[in-house]
Structure 1
Amino acid sequence: MSTTTTTPSTATGPSTAPVAPRRKVRRPVPWGRIGGWICLVVILLITIFPFYWMLRTALSDNRALALEADSLLPAEFTLDAFRRVFGLTTLEESLAQGGAGGRINFWLYLRNSVIVAASITLGQVLFSAMAAYAFARLRWPGRNAVFALFLSALMVPGIFTAIPNFVLVKELGLLNTFPGLILPTFFMTPFAIFFLRQFFLGVPREVEEAALIDGAGRARVFLRIVLPMTAAPITTLAVLTYITAWNEYFWPLLVGQSDDVRVLTVALGIFRSQTPQGSPDWSGLMAATLVAALPIVLLFVALGRRIVSSIGFSGIK
């Protein structure tokens, strides 16, 4: 007689046992990042506010500025200040609009500033690049001593060389001429040479040696290999040089007294002092300053990416 043992079958369906709810993990609040963003926004607002105030003054009526001096909005919004700057009004209309009666040949002075700044930038970048390459790659007697002499010139204030340069320009008969404005800073500066030399030292020597073995001369290596590889720092130097030349005031004031060569910074100072009505034309002055700063802002916006990339420059990319 056989006995049959029955084994209970195991359920294969889904388990009906209760599942514990999954606990949510709380992420810590990034207070450091939040604080950093707040500080960044505050610094940005502090930086931008003077430009906004300049725009607010330029869009205000000059007679209403004193009555609404603490208002953040333009006092009686108008574009008359820009019309006065661009020479679209007569003297009578300027006085009726609250202007001081001063005149500024804006387009002539803007042309002069562009000529002077562009010439200085072109010459200084070219000659400084050649000098920096000579200090970085060429071997010649006294190289280190001459470079140390160049670096020591960084500690000499520019005001010390203003009088000797003025006497030299006067003896050459270059007063009230574009060459007189351009020549003192046309060729090179110690900062430009030092700046570019550091980047030229980062260019791999193997690339230059390969070109020299293939028969290329030093001039061709410099123009066809080194300059393209260091385009970012050269662009950075060009922008910095252009901004410095554009904002220069003291030297153009000494040398360029004639209207034919007077630059915009000097013209704005003269426009500020022309107050036949007893009060400066603040709205007109701010409008002219805003338009004068616009080319620099556009230049930086157009070449800002190259300036940033030069910070991380590492030779070959």
Structure 2
Amino acid sequence: MTTMTTPRRRIDWGRTAAWAALAVAIAVSLGPMLWMLRTALSSDHALASHSADLLPADFSWGAFARVFGLESPAQAIAEGGSGAAISFWQYLLNSLIVSTVITVSQVFFSSLAAYAFARLRWPGRDKVFSLFLGTLLVPSIFTALPNFLLVKNLGLLNTYLGIALPTMLMTPFAVFFLRQFFLGMSREVEEAAMLDGAKHARIFFQITLPNATAPLATLCLLTFITAWNDYFWPLLVGNDPSVRVLTVALGIFQSQSPQGAPDWSGLMAATLISALPILALFVAFGKKIVNSIGFSGIK
């Protein structure tokens, strides 16, 4: 009587290496976030003597209390803070206003431009689009000075509009992203609407945009994240406390160190709180971003 032996399953070393590389990448990505959380929950005076500890050094909520302005100046100085007043909620509101204005305006005007490049036929359309797309190769630092002079001459320094103006109309990436999607849409419905007498404006608002909700939502999210994280331009034109955004405020918060060393636990607490909205949005819509990018033909 013969017995059947099941063959040993061979180890797929390539698959194992891929999973190992993915685990390392996740650890590298999450490491700074965990270290930021650990620092935020530590006492500022204990950080120097417990710099190598993985757990919070002398666990304390004092950093978050200083960020939200719940401590008196004397208490903040005693715990390693600067003692200066922090208008955290005002800065958070400023970032929300600027990011929302940029997102809504940029996505709307970029969708108009993308529709013109994808659907309308006019002389030199492809050449103009290639020239427009070539501006992606121009670093933003090259346009900072001309934009600053323009905003200054318009009297828009230290205003929400001055901060939002350079990117609120359209960007090459946004136009390219939406154009790729519009090119992949079926023309039959649009042609049928034209036979019924519909003009391009009606087709755009009643047919094209309703069928492009997924890429529009993705572009809104990417634009909002970019505007929320911007630092250099808001620092140039919006340093007044009334319009100061959160990224600039964090830099000023770090420099307020009368005792000789920055308030690292307070800085990490403020950074963690400012990053939470973006993290929540990315967790909620991260899959939509990947799917829309792949569907739009961006490889």
Q: Same fold (TM over 0.5)?
A: yes
Structure 1 residues 312 and 195: alpha-carbon distance in aligned structure 2, compared to 1, 3 A threshold: closer
Corresponding residue for 2:249? Answer: 267
Q: CA deviation at 1:314?
A: 7.1
Q: Contact conserved, 1:232 with 1:310, CA < 8 A, in 2?
A: yes
Letter in 1 for 2:266: G
Question: Structure 1 residue 130 and structure 2 residue 112: aligned?
Answer: yes
- In the superposition, the TM-score normalised over structure 1's length comes to 0.90
How many angstroms apart in 1 are the aligned matches of 2:277 and 2:296?
A: 30
User: Taking structure 1 as reference, are residues 314 and 186 closer, same or farther at Cα in structure 2, changes over 3 Å only?
Assistant: closer
Counterpart in the other structure of 1:179: 161
CA shift, 1:270, in A, is 0.6
Aligned to 1:225: 207
Q: Does residue 90 of structure 1 match 2:89? A: no
* Counterpart secondary structure, 2:114: helix
Structure number with the higher helix fraction is 2
Q: Deviations over 1:173-227 (max 9, x none)?
A: 1111111111111100111111211111111122211222233321222122222
**Radius of gyration: which is bigger?**
1
Q: Which residue number in structure 2 is paired with residue 32 of structure 1? A: 14
Q: Distance in 1 between matches of 2:15 and 2:85?
A: 51
**Aligned residue among 79, 97, 107 for 2:61:** 79
State the 1:125 CA deviation: 0.4
After superposition, give the CA deviation of every residue in 1:215-266 in whole Å (9 maximum; x if it has no partner): 3321222122222322222222111111111111111111112111000000
1:50 corresponds in structure 2 to: 32
Q: What secondary structure does 2:295 align onto? A: coil
Match of 2:194 among 204, 209, 212: 212
Aligned residue identity for 2:130: A
- 1:161 is matched with 143
Greater Cα shift, 102-111 or 303-312 = 303-312
Q: Which stretches of structure 1, 4 residues or longer, exceed 4 Å deviation after superposition?
A: none
Q: For residue 15 of structure 1, what is the aligned residue in structure 2?
A: none
What is residue 288 of structure 1 aligned with on the other side?
A: 270
Q: Does 1:190 align with 2:172?
A: yes
Any stretches of 5+ residues in structure 2 without a counterpart? none
For 1:229-268, list aligned pairs within 5 A: 229-268=211-250
- Contact 2:72–2:83 under 8 Å retained in 1: no
After superposition, where does 1:133-144 map in structure 2 within 5 Å? 133-144=115-126
Give the TM-score of the pair, scaled to structure 2. Answer: 0.95
Change in Cα spacing, 1:279 to 1:101, as seen in structure 2 (3 Å) is farther
How many Å apart are 1:309 and its aligned residue?
A: 2.1
Distance 2:89 2:153 in 1: 31
What secondary structure does 1:283 align onto?
helix
User: Matches of 2:52 and 2:110 in 1, distance apart?
Assistant: 48
Structure 1 residue ranges without an equivalent (≥5): 1-18
Mapped contact 1:58–1:284 kept (Cα < 8 A): yes
Counterpart amino acid of 2:159?
T
- Counterpart code for 2:62: D
Alignment: residue pair count: 297
Q: Distance in 2 between matches of 1:99 and 1:254?
A: 26
User: Aligned-pair RMSD on alpha carbons?
Assistant: 1.5
Identity %: 62
The correspondence for 2:132, drawn from 150, 175, 180, is: 150
1:113 and 1:246 in contact (8 A); partners too: yes
